Amino acid sequence: MKKQYETYIYKIDNNDIIYMVSDNWQKFADENNGLDNTSSRNVIGRPLWDFVSGPETTHLYQTVLKAVRDRKRKVKLLFRCDSPGTRRYLQLIVFPIENNCIEFWSQIIKTESRGSVDLLRNGIERSNDMIKMCSMCKKIEIQENVWEEIEPAINRLKLLEMEHPPKISHGLCTCCFNAIMHKVENIN
Ligand SMILES: [Zn+2]
């Protein structure tokens, strides 16, 4: 495999417990001032599932891991891992290693600056309203099964007019779900 991007590596054992993260992980976690803040200190020894939000995403990852373990082939997934001021496009390469363990390579393949999106800030006061965000592409569901990029979604839902932004729950948009299922079914 070619290592053309900085690669953040973590590994899970056959019980999905994280047992290794690469030295640059802390830097990645520090830069990720988004929703899923984690540091190397508190990830080792914990189940991968502590860091996967929402039932649909969990189901999807379970399907991917099972396919990787059963077929002994790697899978590459594309997703977004934004911080408030940056759109970050990542690829995640998931591949089988010895003893049913799995190695993950997370690579930032592109970043774009944008005006800071307060909705994504950690530690701000939020209302009891809920909106759903796709874990993979970070689009927001603006009405049932209609998903929009975060900036237009904020306008459409008039989130800036609210005193406090809503809470965010995580799911998967139809597009990402279908793309990943297609990928898993076509591992060769
Ligand atoms: Zn999506």
Ligand 1 centroid vs 135 CA: distance in angstroms? 7
Which amino acid type is present at position 158?
A: K
DSSP one-letter code for 99: G
* Backbone torsions φ then ψ of 26, nearest 5 degrees: -60, -40
Ligand 1 centroid vs 33 CA: distance in angstroms? 20
Whether 3 has a pLDDT exceeding 70, the answer reads no
Ligand 1 centroid vs 171 CA: distance in angstroms? 8
**Which token pair is 100?**
């049913």
Which residues, 6+ apart, have CB-to-CB distance to 121 below 8 Å?
Answer: 33, 84
> What is the pLDDT at residue 80?
92
- Cβ atoms of 138 and 150 closer than 8 Å: yes
Ligand 1 centroid vs 4 CA: distance in angstroms? 25
pLDDT-based confidence at residue 26 (cuts at 50, 70, 90): confident
Ligand 1 centroid vs 136 CA: distance in angstroms? 5
pTM for this model (two decimals): 0.83
- Cβ atoms of 131 and 166 closer than 8 Å: yes
Span of 34-38, 79-83, 149-153 with lowest mean pLDDT: 34-38
Span of 35-39, 119-123, 183-187 with lowest mean pLDDT: 35-39
Over the chain, what is the mean pLDDT?
A: 88
Ligand 1 centroid vs 100 CA: distance in angstroms? 29
pLDDT-based confidence at residue 39 (cuts at 50, 70, 90): low
**Could you tell me which CATH class the domain 7-185 is placed in?**
alpha beta
Q: CA quadruple 151, 156, 161, 167: dihedral positive or negative?
A: negative
- How do the residues of the chain divide into helix, strand and coil, expressed in percent and rounded to 5? 30, 30, 35
Which residues, 6+ apart, have CB-to-CB distance to 46 below 8 Å?
Answer: 17, 18
Whether 35 has a pLDDT exceeding 70, the answer reads no
Ligand 1 centroid vs 137 CA: distance in angstroms? 4
> What is the pLDDT at residue 65?
96
Whether 33 has a pLDDT exceeding 60, the answer reads no
Ligand 1 centroid vs 133 CA: distance in angstroms? 8
Which residues, 6+ apart, have CB-to-CB distance to 80 below 8 Å?
Answer: 87, 88, 89, 90, 136, 137, 138
Number of residues written out for the chain: 188
> What is the pLDDT at residue 42?
77
| Greater pLDDT, 188 or 152 | 152
pLDDT digits (tens, 9 = 90+) for 87-130: 999 999 999 999 999 999 999 999 999 998 988 888 889 999 99
Which residues, 6+ apart, have CB-to-CB distance to 88 below 8 Å?
Answer: 80, 81, 82, 108, 110, 111
Ligand 1 centroid vs 98 CA: distance in angstroms? 31
> What is the pLDDT at residue 32?
62
Structural domain boundaries in the chain: 7-185
Ligand 1 centroid vs 109 CA: distance in angstroms? 17
| Greater pLDDT, 112 or 31 | 112
Ligand 1 centroid vs 36 CA: distance in angstroms? 17
Ligand 1 centroid vs 174 CA: distance in angstroms? 7
Mean pLDDT calculated for residue range 54-70: 92
